[in-house]
Structure 1
Amino acid sequence: MKLAGREEELAAIRRVIAGSGIRHGVLIVGNAGVGKTRLAREAISHAAAAGHRTNWFVGTESARTIPLGAFTGAISQSMCDPLPDVRRLIDSFVAQQRVGKVVVGIDDAHLLDALSAHVVHQLAQTQGVRLVVTARSGGAEPDAVTALWKDSLLDRIDLEPLSVAAATALVESAVGGPVDGRSARRFWKLTGGNALYLLQLVKDQIAAGRMHQSAGVWMWDGDVAVSQSITDMLGRRLGELEPGMALVLDTLSQCEPLRVDILTDLVEPADLEAAERMHLVCVERAGRDLVATLAHPLFGELRRATAGEMYLSKIRGRLARRLADEPDPDMHATVRRALLALNSDLAPDPELYLTAARCAAVLLDPDAADRFAAAATECGAPEAAPMRAMTLFLLSRGEEAESVLREISAEDRPDAHHWSTVRAANLAWMLGRPRDAAEILGTLSATSESEQQRVERLAIQACVDAVLGHCQSAEKTAKVALDSGVLPDLHAMMASIALMMALGALGHVEEIDAAAEQALTRATTSFESSPMRFWFGAVHGRACRLTGRIDECQAMAARLDESARDMPGLVYANLAHLLGHAALIRADLDDAVKHLHEAYAGAATHQITTGLRVASCFSLAEAHAKLGQATAATEALACADQHVPEDYVFMDTARSVATGWTLAAGGALAEAIDVVREAGRDAARRGQPTHELACLQSAAQWGDPSGAARAGELADTLGLPLADVVARHTEALAADDGAGLLAAADGYRGLGDRATATDAIAQAAVAFGRHGQGKRSAYLAAMAQECADECGGLCTPALRNPAGQPLTHRQREIVELVVAGLSNKQIAERLVMSVRSVEGHLYRACQRVGANTREELAAIIRRGPKGAR
């Protein structure tokens, strides 16, 4: 397996080995399992591949009492007197220099006997010999080993635990594919960045079926599977504990951190002190309190894996009773106490479960909230069914929520109207049935409603209007509902989502920030709407993109990321979509693909059929297409098309733009332009001017100037900087104006839209080339390629159009299809022309770019501006 996560350290070692400086090697120092041996082995392998003579020796506890024990394999039978043997041994390494540089690896040098350490010390002073030595930090070691770095004979590398990024790289290398960020951070936290533990833990989770692939992304859900291997590595001491000390660890394994005064009510203080002396438990001061935690995160997993369930249930019950003696200081404490009680030998407490369900939802753990709500339902608590309906809704489990909500709203209860509106929201959003939702709301409107009931209905009606593409109605209705000041939190969030969709589609930017701040402020303290903040963030991001406010989108994504990076399950999937979309619109394409794959995988894992899965796939298709990855874009688009509800009109523009980009990546430029032109006309008929603007912008990126007049009209109507830039862009395209295209590029760059700015620069390069300004054209082509590289390898149709030898529109269209891999006959059939005409266009295109064959032409176009310089 390729070494991952230690690239910088390996590079430093290789420089020392290859150099001729005063230091003759490196000493790698670190804790057990941190990866010292693996790094040293990799360095020795690189040295061998470079043609050096290499040797490898290991210090062991058993050989420590034997003179020259580590070098037993290198000592001949004629060597029998230890002191002369030292000289002969050193000379044997020196003699190897006759056939090249000598590199000697010494593993676990802290275990060397005195004479072996002396040999290593002497070799460190020998010209032509390079050493790669490892030693454990904090342990006793021979003086000669200490002198290696104290006397500056070797460079010392203190190998720290892996960072999150390095641990992620190691996990992905181990499984051979991408791992979602939350799972990678979970591995890192549990292992403390210890490479040995991390690799074993990954193997354990895969073997136990806890880690699996979903949509091409490895994900780790559920509890930790602990194998005998990791138990042997870490837990030998844990299996030999006295009963009192075992109780200390088992209690902390169920609840940590824990105040010492609470812990010592449950265990003997002497046992806690003994566990601290053995470095099994850490006790630290937090303000005026002493707080105890396990010394390593895996200690708790190991104890839980080996202890009996009845024994642990009693411990949880004692903990829950003791914690209940004091008021819970915060919601985290309430959830923790409820989890202990739920899994203990205590009698059920439905009131505690319902309270904990609300707290868990606010803390962005809808899975735990649903677990509590289900437990309360089993107890027959009167309000358990409505709580269960809410948790199922927050988990996007639409069919299950519909079953509960249908029953609640049909009951003769004073809040039946309220739950009917929640049912309508579930139908519209989770089940993709907005017209069924509208029917329910229509029935409610015919009844005698209180003002409270009326505005609740209007809040959900605004959602239905937004889904069906009725933006003016959605804006008006949502504002009426929100201005009432009496909406429950769920309905307020529903109205805010509808309002944000409408504001973005209509281009009413002056109201976006206030609406966003109001929604998020309310969500952070509400169990009904807290998990929906990421859904709202995605809608806000879309509105910002449509109105050219990319910086605001980035700020929102960063704000929500800070609040929920390590949240479980579906919440993380929503966050990943938000981060991926933000990366896409700032043209950080590698990050975009990574996060959007995670979002899609999370949606697939949780069986989300609408919303999150579809939006992730649309963005993923666009990201792949902008990287020139037509096959991957087509696959992502196909996944989305399977799950778009028929009546989800609000997704039509995003679907058309993603389709257009996918077609363009596959060389079908004319078809791509036709798709977005038609989508733009549909958006205009629906009264969605920014959606129409987005279609005109995409077509312009593919070289279509036909929307210039309409773009000018939208610029006058909307008054948005983005609309002005798109108008300048299309006008410059129509006039073949290189300076105008450069001005448009500056405008896009000022808005933060690096991808469209790059396309405009590439188009300017072609325009200047057509007007005989070859030097300026070449300069701009190079600039466009540099910008494309900064975006992660942007590969768009504009960048594939050679600046030095501009093609006609028809030639370019045919060449794009050649790049996509179509034969001349297939191109002729697609463009409804003869094969001979295709061949003629290709011949003239080859003449323009200096290609001799169809294959050379395709290669030049793939290289883009680089091929034109």
Structure 2
Amino acid sequence: MCRLVGRETALKVLAEALEAGRGGAVVVGPMGSGKTVLSRAAAADPDFYAITIRGSHESGKTSFGALAWLISDLPEGLASRPAQLLQELERLLLERAEGKRILLLLDGADLLDGLTVMVVSQLVRRSVATVLATVENLHGSAPEFQALWTEGLLHRVDLAALELEQTRELMEVLLQGQVSSAAAHALQRHSGGNPHLITLLTREQAGEGALVEQDGVWVLAKPLVFSGQVAEVMTVRLKRRLPAERALIQLLALSGELPLNAVLQLVPAETVDTLEEERMAEVTAAGNISLGAETSSEAIAASIPPGRSRELWEEVSAILDPASLGPSALLGFARWTLACGGKLDPQTAQRAAALSTSSGNPDEALRYVLSIHREQRTEAMVLEEVRALSALGEYRSALDSVERLMEMDGSDHPDSWAKLLWYRVSLLRILGCGDPLEVLEQARSVILPQEADRKKRAALVQLVHGTLAIDTGCLADVPPGLGDIASDPALPAATRALAGALQAQFLALSGRADQAMELLDAVMGEMSGDFPLPMSEAISIRVFQALIAAGEYARASALTDQMSDGGSPFTFCGSSADVAAGMVHALSGKADKALRPLASAMGQLQLGDPSDTLPTVLSLAAYAQLLLEHPEEAARLSGNVADYRCQPPAQFELVAGLLRVQVVLAGNPQQLCGELRSMARSRLDRGLVAPALECLAAAARHGDAKAAIELAEAAAQASGRWARVLYCFGAGLDRSDSALLVEAAEEALQMGNVLLANTAARQALVHLTGRTGKAARVHARNALKVEHLSFRELRVSNTVEARMKTLTPFEAEIARRAAGPATRAEISKALNLSPRTIDWHLGKIFDKLHVSGRTELAEVLG
């Protein structure tokens, strides 16, 4: 049943189609998409008498080939009399069905011979049988079968490839454990979401050690292996193909993608048409051809002998100009060239290295760089070497390469010059050596007033300077011109967007969230452009940090969803999306929701942590465990937090420090609150207003009256929605003002901070206890609503679905009736109870489910 993951909707549609009284349904999808498993599940209804008729290439060559086993039970000689055969077959099926509905399972209906299709069609049209068929290519089936669909007798269900989270779910069913995002992405990329390939690959990778279990999470330990069962399956499938089809599939598997005009010089156009019709190959609008998404190119490539691979490469390279290839085609051709022992020219190697690092494969990028002799390596190639080394966490080697390049004549190209400057400054900061500010001053001094690119160069220096100041937490050093760069139409869109994101992060950190949010809206508009992946990542990281600093957790959570879907322009590489999701959920108080992505990141990072992210992740996980009231596990995780190997970005370090101190001092509230207030003063002195407010808010949540006063005073000097929330929270606590606390709770919930919303709402209810009057009743009602809403979001165990399981069967029945349109009197009559007894039970039910009344109960139960 595990292969039905992601097919729940299709199964429901099939069941409805079979019950509709029409001819039945046809399931369409490529090989391995789960058509047969799905149709068998739909046919499992005991009311059916199911007969399986399998189509194949062999049986399709013979009249009534697929029906031979049934016809053998009929009188001899009927094969030459189709009309009489149909009558006898109908009688036989009705007799064996014994009153049940006859269901014909046509497995591979597009491979059935014409006479078998004729018999099936007549049985359907005469309402003798219902059909549930599977086909890879509906238009390749017999005309009479197609007519059943076009005339509306068969309902068509197309099986799409599994999406990323469905792939992860299937892997988790197979492995019986959580799967990291990196592992799920790898299987999705190599299987195209094909369930059969996912199943084979998952089992093979676990057996080969590419997938290993790390602290309860299956993680990607090394590149995937394609030499086992998957390769054998592909070999068998290739042998069934015509020679020209087999050659084209091998070509595309080895190269990844090729220009169609080049392919047509090697294989006939009919071959391309055949594979395209079968969805084995796809032709893009740009005029390139590649294998279909649900075909594992790597597995096919692994099944091709080295000699055959070299032979095909020689044929292709003789007619191909690498300079004319697009990104995907070039990367595949470069990889294939090195595998065959061929040589790359420097430009091709540099382009391939850039593409490899962007796709999260810096090891491969270095192979391309090292394939070129050092004397032939261009400046652009050395920069790609630096980029790949940085992605691998080899910061010292990266800086050495930068320094060697700096000893040569400076670059005249603004983009290369900017990259060189950015790498040098950022590496000096990360390693904590040298003087990055001195490097920036030297860069400014070489910009000549008469240069045509002077403005662009000056803007790039400002960007690097701003990045340095923000990442070291020295907001006073942020250059004032970032905002001007963001709004200058003369500069490239990517430059403007990055400047805007940096300025928004600076404004949010310094307590001016309203201005930051206005700027971020413009940045997100710019991001709709086609930016290179490294630039998109750099911008999205800044946008995320700005949203966190501004307290906009709901927006930050939405951004992490975009970052983790694999196809968004905001996608982070590696485990970054897990870290981002874990951070926003932990900060907002959704502890168990935070732990899933954090566990994924921890398992993966323990095997390799090039970006030195593990200390931050462990701090987040420890805090989440503390919120879940697991102090021992929180202490264990916190005790495993090692010092950062290198200097992390200041904002992430500040967040980790705030969470870690709450874990370490959890048993001593007085010392904890004193430390939090001290941390807040230190951060305010550095202009880090938003991080300071977070420290004071944490202390106020822990009951520190002094922190509440300081929070209100500091928040009053800041701006934006979050500052207003924190002011209301602090002032409400200090003055016992329920109106301010309710305002804080309502706005915090809207912004996604369910922890602060719940705390503020509960405090408001405490202050409202015993109070009478209209205003008090309104505040109490609003506070209770927020408390209930936020409570249900804090933990999975708090959801109505989970808490419904705590009800007795009788209470659950009352709850379901109360959530419907029935009146109190009608419920009483139906259950033979007095209205007062019903009210008593409902009161208990409302308390257990954490709802305010029947209206809210109806909303949460749907």
Name the SS for the 2:796 alignment partner. Answer: coil
Query: Partner amino acid for 1:372?
Result: Y
Task: Report the CA distance between 1:693 and its aligned residue.
Answer: 0.8
Name the SS for the 1:158 alignment partner. Answer: strand
For structure 1, the residue ranges without an aligned partner over 5 or more in a row are: 72-80, 96-101, 801-858
Select 2:573's aligned residue among 552, 571, 574.
571
Distance in 2 (CA, whole Å) between partners of 1:547 and 1:505 is: 7
Counterpart contact for 1:592–1:623, Cα < 8 Å? yes
Aligned to 1:607: 609
C-alpha distance after superposition, 1:2-43 (max 9, x if no partner)? 5522334556778999xxx88599767444543345346656
Select 1:505's aligned residue among 481, 484, 509.
509
Task: Report the CA distance between 1:653 and its aligned residue.
Answer: 3.4
Q: 1:377 to 1:211 in 2, by over 3 A?
A: farther
Distance in 2 (CA, whole Å) between partners of 1:614 and 1:236 is: 48
Task: Report the CA distance between 1:498 and its aligned residue.
Answer: 7.4
Distance in 2 (CA, whole Å) between partners of 1:667 and 1:120 is: 76
Distance in 2 (CA, whole Å) between partners of 1:237 and 1:749 is: 55
Counterpart contact for 1:377–1:385, Cα < 8 Å? no
Question: Is 2:372 aligned against 1:376?
Answer: yes
Task: Report the CA distance between 1:472 and its aligned residue.
Answer: 1.5
Task: Report the CA distance between 1:588 and its aligned residue.
Answer: 7.2
Task: Report the CA distance between 1:725 and its aligned residue.
Answer: 2.0
Aligned-residue RMSD, C-alpha: 6.0
Question: Is 2:730 aligned against 1:727?
Answer: no
Counterpart contact for 2:494–2:535, Cα < 8 Å? no
* 1:426-465 correspondence to structure 2 within 5 Å: 426-429=427-430, 433-434=431-432, 436-438=433-435, 450=446
Counterpart contact for 1:211–1:221, Cα < 8 Å? yes
* 1:553-572 correspondence to structure 2 within 5 Å: 553=556, 565=568, 571-572=573-574
Distance in 2 (CA, whole Å) between partners of 1:196 and 1:28 is: 20
Aligned to 2:548: 545
Question: Is 2:687 aligned against 1:687?
Answer: yes
C-alpha distance after superposition, 1:192-220 (max 9, x if no partner)? 54433331232223233333446654455
Q: 1:565 to 1:497 in 2, by over 3 A?
A: closer
Question: Is 2:308 aligned against 1:311?
Answer: yes
Q: 1:213 to 1:475 in 2, by over 3 A?
A: farther
Q: 1:493 to 1:597 in 2, by over 3 A?
A: farther
Counterpart contact for 2:508–2:550, Cα < 8 Å? yes
C-alpha distance after superposition, 1:88-142 (max 9, x if no partner)? 98678659xxxxxx8998755668989998999899989xxxx996655748799
Question: Is 2:261 aligned against 1:269?
Answer: no
Question: Is 2:320 aligned against 1:323?
Answer: yes
Distance in 2 (CA, whole Å) between partners of 1:66 and 1:732 is: 82
Counterpart contact for 1:189–1:297, Cα < 8 Å? no
Distance in 2 (CA, whole Å) between partners of 1:785 and 1:33 is: 46
Distance in 1 (CA, whole Å) between partners of 2:152 and 2:368 is: 63
Aligned to 1:803: none
Aligned to 1:767: 767
Distance in 2 (CA, whole Å) between partners of 1:607 and 1:8 is: 39
Normalising by structure 1, we get a TM-score of 0.68
Distance in 2 (CA, whole Å) between partners of 1:566 and 1:518 is: 13
Name the SS for the 1:762 alignment partner. Answer: helix
* 1:774-789 correspondence to structure 2 within 5 Å: 780-781=783-784, 783-789=786-792
Task: Report the CA distance between 1:599 and its aligned residue.
Answer: 4.5
Aligned to 1:247: 247
Query: Partner amino acid for 1:505?
Result: L
Name the SS for the 1:203 alignment partner. Answer: helix
Select 1:350's aligned residue among 346, 351, 355.
346
Q: 1:419 to 1:413 in 2, by over 3 A?
A: same
* 1:331-342 correspondence to structure 2 within 5 Å: 335=331, 338-342=334-338
Aligned to 1:35: 34
* 1:580-591 correspondence to structure 2 within 5 Å: 580-581=582-583
Name the SS for the 1:249 alignment partner. Answer: helix
Counterpart contact for 2:194–2:294, Cα < 8 Å? no
After superposing the two structures, state which structure 1 stretch, 271-280 or 229-238, moved more.
271-280
After superposing the two structures, state which structure 1 stretch, 382-391 or 721-730, moved more.
382-391
Query: Partner amino acid for 1:767?
Result: H
Task: Report the CA distance between 1:169 and its aligned residue.
Answer: 2.3
* 1:402-441 correspondence to structure 2 within 5 Å: 402-405=399-402, 422-423=423-424, 425-429=426-430, 433-434=431-432, 436-438=433-435
Counterpart contact for 1:389–1:404, Cα < 8 Å? yes
* 1:629-648 correspondence to structure 2 within 5 Å: 637-638=638-639, 640-643=641-644
Counterpart contact for 1:10–1:43, Cα < 8 Å? yes
Query: Partner amino acid for 1:247?
Result: A
Name the SS for the 1:66 alignment partner. Answer: helix
Query: Partner amino acid for 1:370?
Result: L
Distance in 2 (CA, whole Å) between partners of 1:491 and 1:786 is: 42
Distance in 2 (CA, whole Å) between partners of 1:212 and 1:767 is: 53
Task: Report the CA distance between 1:713 and its aligned residue.
Answer: 1.9
Counterpart contact for 2:183–2:219, Cα < 8 Å? yes
Name the SS for the 1:608 alignment partner. Answer: coil
Aligned to 1:737: 737
Distance in 1 (CA, whole Å) between partners of 2:172 and 2:644 is: 29
C-alpha distance after superposition, 1:62-108 (max 9, x if no partner)? 9832337799xxxxxxxxx999999798678659xxxxxx8998755
Aligned to 1:201: 201
What is the identity percentage for the equivalent residue pairs of Structure 1 and Structure 2?
A: 16
Q: 1:361 to 1:790 in 2, by over 3 A?
A: same
Q: 1:124 to 1:700 in 2, by over 3 A?
A: farther
Query: Partner amino acid for 2:302?
Result: A
Task: Report the CA distance between 1:726 and its aligned residue.
Answer: 1.0
Q: 1:198 to 1:357 in 2, by over 3 A?
A: closer
For structure 2, the residue ranges without an aligned partner over 5 or more in a row are: 60-64, 75-84, 412-416, 449-456, 804-843, 858-862
Counterpart contact for 2:505–2:549, Cα < 8 Å? no
* 1:21-170 correspondence to structure 2 within 5 Å: 29-31=27-29, 33-39=32-38, 58-59=52-53, 64-67=67-70, 108=106, 135-136=134-135, 138=138, 158=157, 160-164=159-163, 165-170=165-170
Q: 1:503 to 1:423 in 2, by over 3 A?
A: same
Aligned length: 764
Distance in 1 (CA, whole Å) between partners of 2:679 and 2:646 is: 17
Task: Report the CA distance between 1:412 and its aligned residue.
Answer: 7.3
Q: 1:747 to 1:88 in 2, by over 3 A?
A: closer
Name the SS for the 1:376 alignment partner. Answer: coil
Name the SS for the 1:733 alignment partner. Answer: helix
Name the SS for the 1:396 alignment partner. Answer: coil
Normalising by structure 2, we get a TM-score of 0.69
Distance in 1 (CA, whole Å) between partners of 2:236 and 2:536 is: 45
